[in-house]
């Protein structure tokens, strides 16, 4: 496994959470699978991969589009998050990314920029013991336009008090990479540094 290093020009670091610091993707997958079976959708790893980086409500809207279902996106999105919360203790840290965050804690400003809900995001941080390394977390509730728009990461930069051009973003989804680049930031895809295990038993 290659070692994850930062760009020498980076003066601040921004981390996505799900699939970047926390290996929550298998947990999210199972939560969707458990909920969507009630609406006649067989949720597969391939389907999940197409929706990477899209918040819960946006995911349900996309599935309505693809399957011709009429799910209430907000309601089903919240059902899914409740299901996720029941099994989220099964998540694991993504070691190379967590190690990098620990290494630069207290050396460079750091923030988390997530498409998830704030309460569950902080709960994830607590489960993995990451709360003490981060003071700044920008969630989907903190911005009008989530990823792939740059707002999440621009808000992180603003809260850290640094220029977007010196921020390096660590992401696992192309939508997040797109958001970072639109924000004028450096971007690193972390999936090259660990093995993705969607669909396997957890």
For 51-60, write each residue's pLDDT tens digit: 987 888 999 9
* Prediction pTM value: 0.86
Q: Residue 200 pLDDT more than 70? A: no
Give the mean pLDDT of 46-71.
92
Domains of the chain, each with CATH number or no CATH: 12-24+91-193 (3.40.50.1000), 25-89 (1.10.150)
pLDDT score at 55: 83
At 89-141, the pLDDT tens digits run: 999 999 999 999 999 999 999 999 999 889 999 999 999 999 999 999 999 99
Q: Residue 199 pLDDT more than 90? A: no
Q: Is 94 exposed, middle or buried (0-12, 13-18, 19+ CB in 10 A)?
A: buried
Q: Which residues are catalytic?
A: 16
Q: Is 106 exposed, middle or buried (0-12, 13-18, 19+ CB in 10 A)?
A: exposed
What's the first-to-final CA gap in the chain, in angstroms? 22
Give the mean pLDDT of 161-188.
97
Give the mean pLDDT of 174-195.
93
56 vs 188, more confident: 188
**Mean pLDDT over each residue of the chain, to the nearest integer:** 93
The 3-class secondary structure across 134-156, one letter per residue, is CCEEECHHHCCCCCCCCHHHHHH
Question: For the chain, where are the E strands, in sequence order?
Answer: 12-15, 22-23, 92-93, 110-113, 136-138, 167-171, 186-189
pLDDT score at 1: 60
44 vs 54, more confident: 44
| Of the candidates 174, 193, 164, the residue with the CA atom closest to the CA atom of residue 94 | 193
78 vs 64, more confident: 64
Task: Give 62's contacts (C-beta < 8 A, 6+ positions apart).
Answer: 51, 54
């Amino acid at each position: 496994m290659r070692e994850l290093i930062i760009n020498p020009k980076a003066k601040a670091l921004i981390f996505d959470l799900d699939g970047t610091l926390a290996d929550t993707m298998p947990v999210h997958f199972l939560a969707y699978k458990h909920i969507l079976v009630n609406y006649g959708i067989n949720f597969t790893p391939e389907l999940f991969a197409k929706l990477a980086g899209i918040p819960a409500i946006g995911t349900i809207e996309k599935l309505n589009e693809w399957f011709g279902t009429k799910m209430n996106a907000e309601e089903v999105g919240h059902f899914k998050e409740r299901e996720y919360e029941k099994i989220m203790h099964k998540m694991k840290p993504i070691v190379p990314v967590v190690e990098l965050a620990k290494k630069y804690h207290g050396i460079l400003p750091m923030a988390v920029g997530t498409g998830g809900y704030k309460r569950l995001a902080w709960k994830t941080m607590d489960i993995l013991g990451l709360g003490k390394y981060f003071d700044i977390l920008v969630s989907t509730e903190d911005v009008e336009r989530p990823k792939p728009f740059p707002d999440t990461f621009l808000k992180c930069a603003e809260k850290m008090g640094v220029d977007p051009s010196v921020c390096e973003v660590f992401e696992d989804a192309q939508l997040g990479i797109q958001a970072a680049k639109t924000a004028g930031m450096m971007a690193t895809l972390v999936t090259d540094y660990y093995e993705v295990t969607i669909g396997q038993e957890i």
